[in-house]
Amino acid sequence: METLKMRDWDAARGMDTRESVIACLEAALEETDFSHPDELKFFLAVLGDIARSNGMAKIARDLHLSREGLYQSLSPDGNPSFATVMGVFNSLGFRLTLKKTA
């Protein structure tokens, strides 16, 4: 019987186009109930994956943070400021807009 070899899956590797990043970010924003801490952790993990897929060091420089500080801030146990989250969006070339729900 042949042994099956498995590798760790890295979500950042799957976000190699702007469209895939947008789809992932939109899904995370729509699915996250930000009033629940565990769901906020999920969103931060997704945002961290997106940041890694687009160059964490460059984004950290844009925000005047260390790469390690940004990694820690966007980790599931991180607690980034709103300015940091918005800075990541801006560095990625996104602008957060509001839409009234029905």
Q: Tens digit of pLDDT per residue, the chain (102 long)?
A: 678 777 776 766 767 788 888 898 999 989 999 888 888 888 988 899 899 888 889 999 999 999 999 999 988 788 899 999 999 999 999 988 888 887
Is the residue at 48 inside a domain? Answer: yes
For residue 64, being part of any structural domain is answered with yes
Domain membership of residue 37 (yes or no) is yes
Contact criterion met (CB below 8 Å) for 39 and 33 = yes
pLDDT of residue 9: 66
Q: How many domains does the chain fold into? A: 1
Start-to-end CA distance of the chain, whole Å, equals 57
Q: What is the pLDDT of residue 3?
A: 82
**Structural domain of residue 73, as residue ranges?**
18-91
Question: What is the pLDDT at residue 88?
Answer: 94
In contact, 52 and 12? CB cutoff 8 Å: yes
Q: Is 99 among the domain residues?
A: no
Predicted structure pTM score: 0.79
Determine, yes or no, domain membership for 3: no
Does 9 fall in a domain? no
- Please check whether residue 62 lies inside any domain of the structure: yes
The type of residue at 66 is S
